[in-house]
Amino acid sequence: MDFTTIWEFAKPVIAGQVRTALAGVAGSLVLAGAIQPGDEASFVKIGSGIAVYAVPAVWSWWEKVGKVRLLASMAKSPAVVLPNATTGQAVEAAKAAPPKA
């Protein structure tokens, strides 16, 4: 299953959750007096549009750059144990870890 298929399946679910969260934020802003009640619908529409288009951009960045940076920094650390490591590997990593101050 590729990203496009997953995204097309998840987009309506994510959009609904984003709209609900933004409606709550907008309601809080109206209650605090930061925006007028008539501006609430515009706030939700604009915020939903930004969020729906930002999610794939962030996902793309993670797949291209973020994951590589994270794995590279983990490889430099002697005490990193991957989730599929054996008990022996975990013990060796713990022994190699610098002592806590």
Q: What is the pLDDT of residues 25-35, one digit of tens each?
A: 888 888 888 87
- Nearest CA to 29 among 50, 44, 16, 49? 44
Q: Of 78, 69, 74, nearest to 97 (Cα)?
A: 78
Residue 99 has pLDDT above 70, yes or no: no
* pTM assigned to the model: 0.43
Angle (CA) 82 88 94, round 5°: 70
pLDDT tens across 36-93, in order? 888 878 877 787 777 778 878 888 888 888 888 877 777 776 566 777 888 888 888 7
Q: Show me where the domains of the chain are located.
A: 3-96
